[in-house]
Structure 1
């Protein structure tokens, strides 16, 4: 059973002992104290990987800002079956310009299981009273996602107990050590002492890579290259993605690469491939690829020669990419990320973008194939031929 707030209070004798000093102080402000609870995670997502931290903030009153009190810089935390209890003491008087913990106190709840969680912040106030503030949130399973940025698959790792050379040799000569770290490759030493640059498979989820390496005890933390954008940012580079059709295979294909378009037009991949006259705009690269607009690289797969499908597959979904990556028996090979798109939200695209719909031939002829179009009447025509409407799969610009 979850531990009650009362039971939790009795287990924190040291905190309660400190209450004697706090309750003798007059409250600094007649206005009621306001609080905000914010959960955060090591990896940015509220997931079962990495530590979750609960921060309780004093919310200033207005006009002001006036806080009316400040935290003692410390808190206890108890975690039990979907319930997190944070306890802390406040003193009278405004926060000083020094420790930021006087305005917001953090408590590490650790690794949380997926599910619904209730936070109760039990606060000992300066006037001797207590106040309970609650907040609930969900921890979502991470799943088996692909790396959101496959071309950037290197990190700097801070070694805990090896020099860069010892790390390089262990990775090269010890198969058990390599297996423990999950397929990373040594790249070079870094200019900071005991820091190495390593590479990981382009489609491996960076969150899972860092979590695995952190738990191995070999690394204390990681850094990577950030993205700096000009202000204002330049316009996105947009190009047309041109569609082709092979009547012999009854397959469709599109490409935004002008070199590929020229090769197909010249018959270098077979004279059967012909332009359909259909195209749609895509973002070749964004003016600022920092993720603020939800733009992501798309994933392009091709069937493995001789054993895989004679086809290509495109998705912007990290989860869908993970399925294709992990189904080795499907024999798809990752070919790269030729353009950027935005994942739709419940089939809806942001302003100035349109849905790119996808139809599936249901494995017709033993060879899967998909057709992509911004014109839903094209998808309707394919459905009339026995194809499956798979809905809006990504959002692309409404015009070049």
Structure 2
């Protein structure tokens, strides 16, 4: 990040005092930090503190013109490599979403052409409010990167999602942002996602609880980092990320053929789909009518897609699998990694709070082929997708296969 120009926008949440640590850490890494504060933020931390840490004049007033040769907010915006708003209050998020420019910071957002990262921090009820969520969704649709708040104890005594991430974590995310831009350019991804459905008759089927959120997050992250993505998806209510080639399937057999047909062209294979291990041996062409006594359905094995990928992949392909468990997490994941010739596996216990299916978060452990374990606490699936891809990148560069 050395030599980068980063605008650090600080708004009036109680977490504003933590921005001092962010400014200090970025400056130590050689970043030219230009701090811009809202009036409310100055009630929590004085501008002088940020000026000393950043070694730059701190702007609050749009009309604070220290150099007569330039218009300050335009000049700062033109030279920015990144805008980081940390913390971002509900009020500022609303202004940014709707183009209100009534102070220095909100005006600059309309003038910058560089990427924007926001780190919301507020009361859990405010964060979950429909208006706030709609504003965040609107900003995301325009390309603004959101660092989601974490769960924990909040200043006003509540406990929940809304807590400002630790400054070191935010600095690490900013560093990864610069390092990761287009770092998978020229790489072709084959990603599976979602659940398969195995029919019993025209109205019934067997399936599982996968929503496809993890696989879709990985596809989105790969696209944003310059990759080319084929997404083979089972049934889901999600919209595919812009830029992916989507192949929709329903059954495990359909997914198997779609994977095999596209396997040879892939550089990186990520099998995140929850594929049925068994299917009904008999599929009725008409609805099976209820009758006296039990209905016994004989099941047969489906083709093990991961096992077949592991057999067929070549030495230049990198294969990542997933292991959803309810016990003996690491033992079972390592056994699966070895048996199916994977290069890395993502293991999670679906009984852990905040992990597993039907949630926006997960708790995972990455295990590499050499046995290295990297554990992550509860994070959003979108953040974990980036972490997973960063580990893949380091594995490819280090050739720890």
Q: Fold-level match, TM-score > 0.5?
A: no
Larger Rg: 1
Which category describes the TM-score, using the shorter chain as reference length? under 0.3
Structure-2-length-normalised TM-score: 0.24
Whose strand proportion is higher, 1 or 2? 1
Structure-1-length-normalised TM-score: 0.24
